[in-house]
Structure 1
Amino acid sequence: MPRKQNTGTVISNRMNKTIIVTVKTKVAHKKYNKVIAKTNKYYVHDENNECMIGDQVRIEEFKPISKNKRWILKEKIT
């Protein structure tokens, strides 16, 4: 079974080997049939501390690394 992948923007890189990535998705509301923008934050493992704030990145689901980290950096897009 392939692992989940998301694309998002780095909003924080203050922690060592960890970045926080926001992923924006559009979801239809069940009752009102209106499209809503939904934002999720993910703690992502960045082994080489290579990402800067504002970078577009692709992340991949991974086994739990710590209490909150369950994603790893797949590639830096820009």
Structure 2
Amino acid sequence: MSERGNRKTQIGVVVSDKMDKTVVVKVDRIIKHPVYNKFIKRSARYKAHDEQNQCKVGDQVVIVESRPLSKDKCWKVRQII
């Protein structure tokens, strides 16, 4: 996969692999509350393209931003950690 420019990367955990060539990746991040100054865990779920269907539930993966591949899939799995 050739890199063009600076693409966003995220590290997350595969939570679903039931689709063909697609996995759902849950990405956690920690933010600081603006008023109470407590740290809060926020999570987002991204659909990512997995060409060889090799990701399984529970795998930690690196996903990279790409062009839109379907209605709501615009990430690709770069590697399994």
TM-score range, shorter chain: over 0.9
1:48 to 52, 68, 74: 52
The aligned residue for residue 7 of structure 1 is 11
Runs of at least 4 residues of structure 1 off by over 6 A?
none
- 1:16-55 deviation per Cα after TM superposition (whole angstroms, max 9, x unaligned): 0000000010000111111000010000000000000000
Query: What TM-score, normalized to structure 1?
Result: 0.96
- 1:60 and 1:67 map into 2 onto residues whose CA distance is 17
- 1:63 and 1:29 map into 2 onto residues whose CA distance is 32
Q: Percent identity?
A: 43
Aligned partner letter, 1:17: K
- 1:46-71 deviation per Cα after TM superposition (whole angstroms, max 9, x unaligned): 00000000000000000100011010
What residue ranges of structure 1 are gaps of 5+ in the alignment?
none
The aligned residue for residue 67 of structure 2 is 63
- 2:31 and 2:67 map into 1 onto residues whose CA distance is 27
- 2:24 and 2:62 map into 1 onto residues whose CA distance is 12
Query: What TM-score, normalized to structure 2?
Result: 0.92
Aligned partner letter, 2:80: K
> SS at the partner of 1:72?
strand
- The CA RMSD measured in Å over matched residues stands at 0.6
Aligned partner letter, 1:22: K
1:31 to 35, 52, 60: 35
What residue ranges of structure 2 are gaps of 5+ in the alignment?
none
Aligned residues: 77
